[in-house]
Amino acid sequence: MEALFSLVVGVLTASGIYLLLRGRTFPVIIGLALLGYAVNLFLFSTGGLNTHAAAVIGESITPSDPLPQALVLTAIVIGFAMTAFVVILAIRARSELGSDHVDGQSGEAGDAK
Partner 1 sequence: MSQHLVTLPILIPMIGALALLLFNQASDTRRRQLSTALCVAQVLVAAWLLAVAVAGGGQMLFYALGNWHAPFGIVLMLDRLSALMLILTAVLALGSVLFACAGEDARGTNFHGLFQLQLMGLNGAFLTGDMFNLFVFFEITLLASYALMMHGGGKERIGAGLHYVILNLAGSALFIVALGVLYGATGTLNMADMARRVAQMSGDQAALVTAGALLLIVVFSLKAALLPLYFWLPRTYAAAPAPVAALFAIMTKLGLYAILRVQSLIFADTPVAEAIATWLWWSGLATIALAGVGVLAARDLRTLVAYLVLVSVGTLMAGTALGSIDAIGALLYYLPHTTLICGALYLIAELISQQRGKAGTRLVRGRRLHQRHLLGGMFLVAAVAVAGLPPLAGALGKALLMQAAEGSARLWLWPLLLLAGLCALIAMSRAGSVFFWASYKGEVDSGRVTRPQLAGVLWLLASAPLLVAFAGPVSGYTQATAEQLAEPQAVIARLLGESPALQFGRLTIEGESR
Q: Which is nearer to partner 1, 77 or 111 (CB)?
A: 77
Site for partner 1 in 3-62 (CB under 8 A): 20, 25, 28, 32, 35-36, 39-40, 42-43, 45-48, 50, 53, 57, 61-62
Cα(95)–Cα(26) distance, integer angstroms: 14
DSSP string, 76-105: HHHHHHHHHHHHHHHHHHHHHHSSSBTT--
Nearest distance in Å: CB 46, partner 1: 4
- Cβ-based burial of 34 (10 A; exposed 0-12, middle 13-18, buried ≥19): buried
Binding to partner 1 by residue 113, rule CB under 8 A?
no
Binding residue count for partner 1, defined by CB under 8 A: 42
Min dist. Cβ of residue 42 to partner 1 (A)? 5
